[in-house]
Structure formats: C-alpha cells, structure tokens
Amino acid sequence: MGRWSDAATGTAGGRRTAAETDRDARRADRATFFSGGMQVGTMDATGAVEYEPASVKELLAEMKDTAELLIDLSYSAVLLGSDEVAEEVLALEERTDVLQLRARMSLLMASRSTDDAEQLAPVLGVVGAAEKISNAAGDIAKIVLEEIGLPDAMQAALPDAVETLVRATVHEDSEYVGRTLGAINLETETGVRVIAIRRGGDWLLNPDRETTLRGGDVVLLRGPDDGIYTVYATATREAYSPPATEGAGIEDLDRAVDSIVLMKNMSELAVDLAYGSVLFDSEDVAGEVAELEAEVDALQSRFEAWTLRAACRVDDPVSLRGLVRFGASTEEISDAALEISEGVLRGIGGHPVVAEAVLESDEVIVRYTVEPGSELDGVTLGEREVKTDIGTRVIGVRRPTGDGEDDDWVISPGPDTRLNGGDVILAKGTRSGAERLEGLVSGDRE
C-alpha cells in the first residue's frame, strides 16, 4: 500500500558502469543547485531580467501553482465579466514570463554534458508548458478586457463545468467570519476551494491557511455541487440557486458551447494527469494524456465547424469572436499538458526536481493502492463521498486485468465508479485530504 516508488534505479544485475557512476556524481554535485533556497531576482526599469542563483524546484512549484490559478481566474473573469480579475490574470501572466526565464537560465547553467542535456530537456518542456498555459489564460482574460464578449449560453454553461464555480459574499453573521481558512478546513471537509477573495477594492489571490475571512468579503469558490451548496449557504446565510442554463436557440451554437465546455474539462484533467505522469514516471498515465489531447483536438475541429455554421444564423457573426478565442485557448492548454508528459512518453523519464516541485505545490498528487478489506474496497466513490468528505478528487483509477494484458484505466471517474482491492487510484487535493485518503485505502474496516 502507499505511494508507488520510481521504476528501476540500477542496471541489470546490479552492476554499475563507470559512466553511470560519473553521471550520478555530477547529479549529486547539482543537488544543492536544484533544491537550495531560491533568491528573488531583480528587474531593472526596462523590465530586463538578470540571472541570479535560484532553486529550480521552487521555481517549478511556483510556476505550477500559478498556472493552475491562472486557469481558474481566467474562467472566473469570463464568468463574472470582471475587468479586475482579468487584470490580475495578465499580471500573473507577466510574473510567469519572468519565472520561466529564470528557470531556463538556471537549467542552462546546470547543463555541462550531453547526458545533462538529455536529463534536463523534459524539465525545459515543463517550463515551456507552464508558460503556454499562462499565455492561454491571458488570452481568455482579454475576452473581457477587450469587450469581445461571449454568447449568453456560454456564460451560463461555465459555472457547471465539472466543478461548480460561484461567487459569494460573506455575511457579517456567518460562522466563517473571523476564522482562518486553515481553521475552517474548508477544502478538506467539503472539497470546496477558495481561489480568490475581493476585499474592498483589492483582490487576494490564492489565499492560504492563514487567511482570515471577514464580513463583506467576496469569495470565488470552486468545488463539487454538494460542497458548494453547503459552503455558499454557510457563507451567505442564503440558499444557493444555480443559474438557469438556457440554450442559445440555435442548435449548432448549442453544440459548440457543449463541446467547448467538454474541451475545458478534458484539458484541465490532462494537466493534472500530465503532472501525475511525471511525478510517478508512468508511461501509462502519459499515454492517457496523449489520448486526451487528441480528443480535444478532435473536439476543436467539430467546435470550429459548428461555430461557422452558427455564424450564418446569428444577427451578428462577429459576436462569436469570443467563443472562437475561448476554444483556441482551451485547446492550447491540452497541448501544454502533452508537453509536460513528453519526456515520459519519449522514454527519457522525468527529472527528480519536477517530481519534488509537484510534491511541494499547493495541491498534491498522490497514488495509492486500495487494499482488500479497506474502507474503499467494494464501494463507489459516491457512496463514500470521497470528494466532499475528504477534499481529494480521484482523477484516475488503474485496474489490474490479471490476464497478462495491459491494465485498464478509468479516467475522471464519477460517483458511480466502484473501487476494488488491488485498484490503484491517482488523486489530487490537500495534503491533509491525501492523508485521510491513505487511511481509507489501507488496513481493515473497523
């Protein structure tokens, strides 16, 4: 039970060549460089970035967290029609540009041989992918800032895309007032995450455990329906009413909207799985990323056809510009996911510094084996309410076939997915949620 270890760490028969010994010595010399404390660099008045020694691990962890936050905020900006949130997205996009430059500089300084270049190439791919996600999020935010607009059907469909995304104003008498997010333990208890808080005229992005909620705070919440209903009611002291989702009245446009929501969900899943493939050096998971990317490409093609057909049925075809940009940017995110897992797919493997960065990020990705007799053996995810009770989302299940054939994968399992002893689950969530999940997959039922 527990996390899977990396694949083979030695050569056949346990013998090591002189080249391998020299290679490991060079890697040991670079250990401090990759994992040491990060020094914040400076930019001059022209925005020029100068090299300063930095921890690649910390740079990668910050880039991963920022990229994931950018996805949430860009969709939030569109949902809310908020210039303020959109401006924050562009500011974070600029921050990511600086981070990726520093990461590239540090990686180039670390490469001293062809062996180094081979090992570090996938890391450069991860850096480039985070920048690609950042750019895509910026393009989505510009739909709001440039007042391009989206069809009403698109804005109505966004809140229900896999995980509900809502805005809530904290009531002065809410039980959350005066308590930190850590004390409330919101994400672990309900599966709902506070991705941003507007307080007065300022936005607090990616609030942490020490952030205290105040009456009048406007919070952006993301999570499963059950958790959203509970948290929204507690925060606002009012029942949550989902927005009405009326179609556009044009069949092709409704199809385009449905396809783009599916593209969004698949692209986000692909990013999660891509980091998981690197963390666990799993070609199977990386293969699923490639399949998802190919499916998003196919959806993009159908989306474009439906949008063009709808253009001749709307009063102003130019009004569909925002939808077209939204689709292109969403497809770009799935391309970035494939770039993250490229090293694993090509047999190069993932550099340990990437795995360490993923483990140090705000949300962790874990892999556990369901032990026979454990609390999750023989029950569905919905019956055990894993997402809402534990605050951890199962993003994939690997099922051993036992007949010598390749194992089966269930990607993005739903509440009806039944787990059995021997299944391997890939999950994402808080560290405390991951610890709870580990307890559920191990040992006998009490």
Sign of CA dihedral 196, 197, 198, 200: negative
pLDDT(163) > 80: no
Domain boundaries, the chain: 19-151+253-357, 163-236, 363-441
Tokens of 286: 């990386």
Tokens of 82: 């908020």
Quote the longest CA-to-CA distance of the chain.
73
Residue whose tokens read 């689709």: 327
pLDDT(86) > 70: yes
The gap from C-alpha 262 to its chain's centroid, in whole angstroms, comes to 16
pLDDT(24) > 60: no
- Alpha-carbon distance 318 to 364, whole Å? 42
pLDDT interval class at 80 (50, 70, 90) = confident
Q: What integer is the mean pLDDT of 413-428?
A: 87
Where is pLDDT greater, at 375 or 383?
A: 375
- Alpha-carbon distance 67 to 304, whole Å? 26
Where is pLDDT greater, at 444 or 176?
A: 176
Instruction: For residue 189, give the nearest of 239, 145, 223 by alpha carbon.
Output: 223
Tokens of 91: 């500011």
- 363-441 carries CATH number 3.40.50.620: no
CB atoms within 10 A of CB 30: 19
Q: Which amino acid makes up residue 369?
A: T
Where is pLDDT greater, at 159 or 422?
A: 422
Instruction: Confirm if 60 and 357 have CB atoms less than 8 A apart.
Output: yes
pLDDT tens-place string over residues 269-299: 899 889 888 888 888 888 889 988 998 999 9
pLDDT(415) > 90: no
Q: What percent of the chain has pLDDT over 70?
A: 82
Instruction: For residue 377, give the nearest of 425, 431, 433, 428 by alpha carbon.
Output: 425
Do 163-236 and 363-441 have matching folds?
A: yes
pTM for this structure? 0.71
Maximum average pLDDT range among 61-65, 243-247, 361-365 = 61-65
Which CA distances in Å does 66 have to 52, 92, 181, 285?
Answer: 21, 7, 19, 23
pLDDT(127) > 90: yes
CATH of 163-236, one of 1.10.3720.10, 3.20.20.10, 3.30.70.1450, 3.30.70.790: 3.30.70.1450
pLDDT(177) > 60: yes
- 19-151+253-357 carries CATH number 1.20.58.220: yes
Rounded (5°) CA angle 311-313-318: 35
pLDDT(231) > 50: yes
Instruction: Confirm if 188 and 182 have CB atoms less than 8 A apart.
Output: no
Given this model, what pLDDT does residue 216 score?
94
Given this model, what pLDDT does residue 160 score?
54
Given this model, what pLDDT does residue 187 score?
76
Given this model, what pLDDT does residue 316 score?
83
